[in-house]
Chains A and B, each alone.
Chain A
Amino acid sequence: MIRVEHLTKKYPATTAIEDLNFEVAKGEIVGFLGPNGAGKTTTMRILTGFIPATSGSAFVAGYDIFRESLKARMQLGYLPESVPLYGEMRVREYLRYRGSLKGLAGKKLRQRVGAVQELCSVKEVEKRPISTLSKGYKQRVGLAEAMIHEPPLLVLDEPTIGLDPNQIRQVRELIKSLGERHTILLSTHILSEVEMTCSRVIIVNKGHIQASDTPANLISQIRTSGNVSLEAKTGTDNPVEWLTKIHGVKEVTAQLEDGWQLCSIRVEASSDPREEIFALAAERRWILRELARERATLEDAFVEITHD
């Protein structure tokens, strides 16, 4: 659905992206992550035909976005980060205008406007001027506009920014349900969202792709994946002293709280010393309250990958 080859965008002072290569297959929901200024928006703007690349090429549904721009643009719906809308227009009027601009007319247009209003739950405000709507409604009007012409590809730049938790959940559900019929490329800073919705993650940093994999694989690859927490009454024993003797344990910190030793144990990657820890506790007659392996999150992966 998307094919990006050696894409580079240089500005007079900076290089926004350099030699970007990636593909997005039909039906994927891909999360496009990276710190602010990593080149996410630039890439999306090039992909949607808003700005030309300095060099390299990008294809949407097989059409070159620069050479066959109109055909390529017919295949995609785009929601920019700032969700620009015409404030003085009414919701329904706006959707009709945008639909007709994207080639819909007559019965088909009426039907699609009704359908996207229903899907994005903006039906109840269809007669209100857009400038009077709340941020959540505006966001959904923007989303409705992006998919009015049933494009096979949706490009969403931070679709949940500025929404409250309930609205974020609604939009997330919406995106998930859209994934059944559309290919989606979305950028966001809310990583839990990516873990829940995306089948693949592309992480960019300073204009380069740092990683491209499923969220699960990214998490399992990072170093911090081995952290074990232990809560025990150890009596007179110093847990740090005993625990560091176990093979595979790299570092232990302990904190005494109400007679319980709260230990955080860093272990070597791909090793799991919980069995030995339990054996040690049994041997030393420690009273055990918790022994758990901490699961790394995508956030850890993100921080590690994009950290200098």
Chain B
Amino acid sequence: MARHGKSGARNQKPETRNQKLLVRRLIILLRRELSLLFFSPIAYVTLFFFLILNGLSFWFAIVSLNHAPAENTIGQVFFNTVLFWMAYLLVFPLITMRSFAEEFKLGTIETLMTAPVRDEEVVLSKFFAAFLFYLSLWLPSLLYFLVFSWLGNRGALGSTGQIWAPYLLLFATGAFNVALGCLASALTSNQIVAAMISFVLTTGFFFLTLAHYLANRASPLWREIAASISQVDHMESFSSGIIDSRALVFYPSMALLFIFITFHVFQWRRWRA
């Protein structure tokens, strides 16, 4: 009764065949999640405001370099403006709020989870779709540097590493924040509530690790912890070309942890349905 794959697949060990099926299903699910993100109006509203805020941030960077003796590179200014961080923190709720919440709301979770797919495949595909969308948001900003290198002062551009290093950090911290957003979305059936939870989680973490700037009375231990994981502090060093491996270990592992938690929350909610 069970249908078999092509004759080639039948001769393989069951394990390799299972892995192949898993990868195949992941790709199918991922493609669907990506098309959902890229063909939705929300994606373009997000992209629009993200570009405006980043464009302004880049413009301010150029202006500030023009008006004062330049000690910093263009990247060091651009990646550390308030506008830049604002744009950065706003995108996570917007790109992740829909992923799980919408499935629960529409009830499509029922058809999805009675199809032959594993829970972990669904969770991973949703995470990676949101993450890939997040990464694609940064692509236009590469153009800024490209144009600047044609028209601007080469010296103000800094070295190639000074441009790539911030993107490396954005990759790591982005994975963490997207995972937080996915968790928020898995907690509720309401997109707006999901967006709010995710905003509180991501900005909450962001500002908590800024405690050493904000609160004078923060304990020395907390200052030290905060300084070693703060996204702002890390960006300062990454944008000056110093790659701090602590950030590259901490944020991806936290991302893994939160994907794991998301998986369990998702399964728990589905089973409770």
Contact B3 A80 (CB under 8 A): no
| B residues less than 8 Å from A74 (CB atoms) | 2-3, 116
Contact B116 A82 (CB under 8 A): no
Contact A50 B118 (CB under 8 A): no
Smallest beta-carbon distance B155→chain A, Å: 49
Q: Interface stretch among B103-111, B192-200, B241-249?
A: B103-111
Contact A50 B106 (CB under 8 A): no
Given the contacts A74-B3, A85-B108, A86-B108, A50 and B115 also touching, CB distance less than 8 Å: no
Query: Within 8 Å of chain A (Cβ to Cβ): is B223?
Result: no
Chain A interface, DSSP helix/strand/loop, else mixed: loop
Tell me, in angstroms, the Cα distance from A36 to B249 when the chains sit together. Answer: 53
| Contact pattern, B 142-160, Cβ under 8 Å of A = 1, otherwise 0 | 0000000000000000000
Q: Interface stretch among B24-32, B86-94, B161-169, B201-209?
A: B24-32
Q: Interface stretch among A93-101, A210-218, A256-264, A269-277?
A: A93-101
Contact A101 B28 (CB under 8 A): yes
Smallest beta-carbon distance A289→chain B, Å: 54
Query: Within 8 Å of chain B (Cβ to Cβ): is A246?
Result: no
| B residues less than 8 Å from A49 (CB atoms) | 113-114
Query: Within 8 Å of chain B (Cβ to Cβ): is A8?
Result: no
Contact A84 B2 (CB under 8 A): no
**Partner pick for B115 among A62, A73, A82, A87, CB 8 A cutoff:** A73
**Partner pick for A78 among B3, B106, B111, CB 8 A cutoff:** B111
Contact A50 B116 (CB under 8 A): no
| A residues less than 8 Å from B36 (CB atoms) | 86, 88
Query: Within 8 Å of chain B (Cβ to Cβ): is A67?
Result: no
Query: Within 8 Å of chain A (Cβ to Cβ): is B256?
Result: no
Query: Within 8 Å of chain A (Cβ to Cβ): is B45?
Result: no
Contact A84 B108 (CB under 8 A): yes
Tell me, in angstroms, the Cα distance from A98 to B28 when the chains sit together. Answer: 9
**Partner pick for B1 among A75, A85, A86, A97, CB 8 A cutoff:** A75
Query: Within 8 Å of chain A (Cβ to Cβ): is B117?
Result: yes
**Partner pick for A97 among B3, B32, B40, CB 8 A cutoff:** B32
Contact A102 B273 (CB under 8 A): no
15 CB contacts below 8 A, A to B, read A49-B113, A50-B273, A51-B271, A51-B273, A52-B271, A61-B2, A71-B2, A74-B3, A80-B107, A85-B106, A101-B29, A101-B116, A102-B116, A103-B21, A152-B1
